[in-house]
Amino acid sequence: MNTHNRTEIATLGEFGLIEHLTSGITPANKETLTGVGDDAAILQFGEDEEILVTTDLLMEGVHFDLTYVPLRHLGYKAAMVNISDIYAMNGTPKQITVSIALSKKFCIEDMEDFYEGLKLACKQHNVDIVGGDTSASLTGLAISITAIGCAKKGTVVKRNGAKETNLICVSGNLGAAYMGLQLLEREKIATAGKDMQPDFAGKEYILERQLKPEARKDIIEQLRKENITPTAMIDISDGLSSELMHICKQSKVGCRIYEEHIPIDYQTAIMAEEFNMNVMTCALNGGEDYELLFTVPIADHEKVASMKNVRLIGHIVSEDMGLAFITRDGTEMELRAQGWNQLKEE
């Protein structure tokens, strides 16, 4: 371990660290079409089909708290966040491998619960569990899942294809998962050491969005039915602002998104008010929604406008115009990535 001339990881953040460590890596094999930089790597071994590979690591105490996260829900979510990455590349998920490190506090029944959730998520998306690894852990539970998918050659959608005048679209609604997390954290503190159960009546939707997210297979199917191929796409794991900035940076464009068009669920708004939080800040920066953010040519306006559970939230502009959020009163604000960064200093 380096004890001299230290540069703290927090100075770069998660994505800055990845970019720093991988900037000099170039593929040596012709089958590797793209590597680091999208929701999944793209490989090609045949003439007509491309293979998508993505991996995700979940750590107890960092990504989940077993005080209020049931293991069955954790298994479901662990599979779903990887499946979502394949859809974000306009692909079809096919297989996953599952590696687990666990401490002695867990028993066989605990892992059976975890796998029940895992298998349910895979069944819903016709995904096979094809392997993995298991190890002991001294620090709790760690989960690493790799997902494999495929797409017809020429149909994979990356983050770098957005063009000026493209429309910016998002599926579902935003901020609900974050508000579900805030509610769980509050009730954890409120009930700690007490013989009482939290009252979640009327808040089921935001809890489900946090504990049991759904990959948007339905949106991909609608896009294919309408013969729409997005120019760029990403799933929203770290917040709308952060993900849109990824697209704009890699596409070398700017953007304009509008407050009045950002989709927010009623329960999300009520919960934000209860917490005295700005609901739009939650929607822009909350993360873990696993909705799809994508851009399409303006010629597809009528098609996407009529799609179920899709909202037009803005448009792409030239890079020199920057990234902006337009409030309801017309004020233009610089879009900033304030989403969760697991490597920042507290």
Show me where the domains of the chain are located.
Answer: 9-152, 167-334
CATH number of the 167-334 domain: 3.90.650.10
DSSP states along 181-234: HHHHHHHHHHHTTSS-----TT-HHHHHHHHS----HHHHHHHHHTT---SEEE
- How many whole angstroms separate alpha carbon 47 and alpha carbon 236? 31
- How many whole angstroms separate alpha carbon 274 and alpha carbon 265? 15
- How many whole angstroms separate alpha carbon 330 and alpha carbon 307? 27
Tens-binned pLDDT, residue by residue, of the chain (346 aa): 565 667 675 666 655 665 766 666 566 566 667 655 566 788 887 778 899 999 999 999 989 999 999 999 999 999 999 999 999 999 999 999 999 999 999 999 999 999 999 999 999 999 999 888 888 899 899 999 999 999 999 999 999 999 999 999 999 999 999 999 999 999 887 776 566 677 788 899 999 999 999 999 999 999 999 999 999 999 999 999 999 999 999 999 999 999 999 999 999 999 999 999 999 999 999 999 999 999 999 999 999 999 999 999 999 999 999 999 999 999 999 998 765 444 344 4
Written out in words, the top-level CATH class of the domain with range 9-152 is: alpha beta
- For residue 99, give both structure tokens: 């590696």
- For residue 289, give both structure tokens: 């929604």
Mode of pairing for the β-strands spanning 142-152 and 92-102:
antiparallel
pTM of structure = 0.88
Instruction: State the sign of the Cα–Cα–Cα–Cα dihedral 254, 241, 149, 23.
Output: positive
Crossing angle of helices 204-211/266-274, nearest 10°? Answer: 100
Answer yes or no: are the C-beta atoms of 177 and 268 closer than 8 Å: no
- How many whole angstroms separate alpha carbon 68 and alpha carbon 177? 14
Answer yes or no: are the C-beta atoms of 96 and 82 closer than 8 Å: yes
Instruction: State the sign of the Cα–Cα–Cα–Cα dihedral 56, 59, 64, 66.
Output: positive
